[in-house]
Structure 1
Amino acid sequence: MHFVLLRLSIKLLKMKNTALAFGFLAFVLMVSTFAYLIEPETFETWFNSLYFVLTTMSTVGYGDYSPSTFSGKVLTIFIYVFGIGLLSLVIGKIIDAVADFHRRREAGQLKFQGKNHIIVINWSKKAQYAIEEILSTDSNIEVVIIDEINKHPYDKPKVYFISGDPSSLDILEQADIKNARSAIIFADARIDEPSLVDGKSLLLASTIESLAPNVHTTVEIMMEKHIQNFKHVKVNDFVLSHDAVSRLAVRSALNEGSLDIFTQLLSSQRGADVYQTTVRPEWKTYEDAFLALIKQGATLISNKGDMTINTKLNEPIPTDAKLFVICDDEVSQKINNML
């Protein structure tokens, strides 16, 4: 008998989770039906017999229902012998599945399920600061990190991890690149030669462009002379590595106190920030937009990258204009709600 139970346990352990779940459900329904058919007076309804079987299998045993006939007691012994072990096996499988899910998530082996997320490629301190800035700007944005490391580098809510070569189509599809809002490619800090770093970034940018041309791509570039190469793959924005730090240091040296202004604009966690605003129908010229926005507490600064619009306030606003303002988050939300 012990050998038979051992063989049976081994076979059950090897069963697939789906088959085991259906087997468990069939067992419960079957013995519940038998219990009701054997002692209908004791259980009164089939649901009561189901309740009796489940309490018996879970070893709770409230005692409010108990079989009185020989056949009912034999069935109860059968539930003791096989049911308790089967339930323990199912619970063990559930625990294993949950543990496996967390293990695969930490190892970056799960496919991301979502839309309008931001993909951050190549992990580094700069990538961490970027993610913190993204989440501080909008806590509802989901971020997916892609890197060849084997463990989740920043296990926080809304932050997911895909382990693998980011230039691989399979890895990018695992991160659901086609439904992403944007992608940020950071320079790989593990490569010493700047030309090789930019070469890898160029490969990543071209792969993303071929797979998801509509995704807004921002790339950190080590050498300014390589910008022209990136323009050929239609990268949307470039960030020269160390360039911003050098320029901020110069601004601070030449204009005392100006550094705090740039710091506020670079971080949504401090003071005012730059926001895009929708062009309203009644705004015919830049002056119309400027005066309307200033009354709401926002300062119009540019159309796309053109920051000279204050010299052409009488000019009409182009149909494809993208206006940017400086204000705080509360004013930005107020303006957007009015549009």
Structure 2
Amino acid sequence: MKSNRIFIAWLRWPLYLRIAIIICFLLLFFGQLIVLLEPKQYHTIFDGIWWALITVSTVGYGDFVPQTMPGQVAGMALIFIGASFVTAYFATLAAAVFSKQHHYVEGKVAFKGKGHLIIVGWNEKTNKLLQSFQTIDPAMPIVLIDDSLKEGPLLENVHFIKGHGTEDVTLRKANITGADAIMITADQHENEVTADMQSVLTLLAAKGLNPSLYCLIEILTDRYVKNAERAGANQVIHTSD
């Protein structure tokens, strides 16, 4: 049972990490083996590990070369076994990097920074707003929350989070507790009343997670201005402004 738990825990490790550990084990094993097989050619363990590393990477400097048949057989075995793991390691590492980058573009990666501005909702006004912020302060970290976009806009210092601003899980991905301010824009895909209701709900969710957060909210109808102020809005912006 204990061995099964260890094996399951091992399988839960990232694939590239498991392959890296196997490669390190092979380098140590064959490095020690070649010293035992050819002590005159390889004087220290470091010489053996160096030879194993150069061999498994197929670089082949030629500074250490097995002179006996047992040493050459060990070198052949290392090439057949180790080269495949090295190739798999770099392939897995490249795939992991590509997958991570793809998750960033799709808005699946949580934001870890602090002191940032959160903008909820993507539309043409938001696009111009982001460009204005980048002109004023290019280094300002901005997190954009939107559910309509399939991929985030390619703007510098803009971290995209896909999701609804009314949901706690989405706001936590945007690190709402570490943000300085949030700007809630009206949903252009809904009618005015529904858009204002969603904006107020987003405001309530944001204030619930971070009561000290400075909140700006865009309201389309006058009837929801008071509701926004009651919900804790620091500034209400009419859509005409």
Structure 2 length-normalised TM: 0.90
> Which amino acid letter does the alignment assign opposite residue 32 of structure 2?
T
SS in 2 for 1:157: coil
1:46 deviates by 2.4
**Amino acid corresponding to residue 112 of structure 1 in structure 2:** F
> 1:21: Cα distance to partner?
2.4
> For residue 206 of structure 1, what is the amino acid of its counterpart?
L
User: What is aligned with 1:212?
Assistant: 210
Are 1:227 and 2:222 counterparts? Answer: no
Counterpart code for 2:80:
V
Return the alpha-carbon distance in structure 2 between the equivalents of residues 19 and 205 of structure 1: 45
Answer whether contact 1:202 1:230 (CA < 8 A) is retained. yes
C-alpha separation in 2, matches of 1:164 and 1:201: 14
SS of match in other structure, 1:40? coil
The CA deviation string for residues 243-277 of structure 1, in whole angstroms up to 9 with x for no partner, is: x3xxxxxxxxxxxxxxxxxxxxxxxxxxxxxxxxx
SS of the equivalent of 2:119 reads strand
The SS at the match of 1:42 is coil
Q: C-alpha displacement at 1:15, in angstroms?
A: 7.7
Map 1:243-322 → 2, pairs under 5 A = 244=241
Q: Superposition pairs for residues 17-28 of structure 1, below 5 Å?
A: 17-28=16-27
* Secondary structure at the counterpart of residue 148 of structure 2: coil
* 1:108–1:150 contact (8 Å) kept in structure 2: no
1:187-223 CA distances to partner (integer Å, 9 max, x unpaired)? Answer: 11111x2111111101100110111111111111111
Deviation at 1:147, TM superposition (A): 0.7
Computing the radius of gyration from Cα coordinates, the structure with the larger value is: 1
Q: 1:184 — aligned with what?
A: 183
Relative to structure 1, the CA distance from residue 20 to residue 63 in structure 2 (aligned partners, 3 Å threshold; closer, same or farther) is same
Residue deviations 1:12-55, cap 9 Å, x none?
9x983332222222122221222223223223332232222122
For residues 90 and 241 of structure 1, what CA distance do their matches in structure 2 show?
53
Tell me, in whole angstroms, the C-alpha distance in 2 between the residues paired with 1:37 and 1:116. 59
Identical counterparts, % of pairs: 25
- Is residue 69 of structure 2 the alignment partner of residue 79 of structure 1? no
Q: Which moved more, 1:37-46 or 1:94-103?
A: 37-46
In the alignment, the residues of structure 2 paired with residue 130 and residue 15 of structure 1 have an alpha-carbon distance, to the nearest angstrom, of: 40
Map 1:44-55; keep pairs closer than 5 Å.
44-55=43-54
Deviations 1:60-87 (A, max 9, x none): 1121210112221111011111111110
Structure 1 pair 98–187 and aligned structure 2 pair: CA distance change class (3 A): same
Q: Report the secondary structure of 2:156's partner residue.
A: coil
Q: Distance in 2 between matches of 1:149 and 1:48?
A: 58
Question: 1:72-106 deviations in whole A, cap 9, x for unaligned?
Answer: 11110111111111100001110110010011111
Which amino acid is 1:140 matched to?
Answer: A
Which residue pairs with 1:92 in the alignment? 91
- Which AA in structure 2 matches 1:201? S
Alignment of 1:34-183 (within 5 A): 34-183=33-182
Structure with more relative contact order (C-alpha pairs < 8 Å, separation 6 or more): 2
**TM-score computed with the length of structure 1 as normaliser:** 0.65
The count of aligned residue pairs is 230
- C-alpha displacement at 1:137, in angstroms? 1.7
RMSD: 1.8
Structure 1, unpaired ranges of 5+: 1-11, 245-339
Distance 1:156 1:32, change over 3 A: farther
Q: Is the 8 A contact 2:107 2:152 kept in 1?
A: no
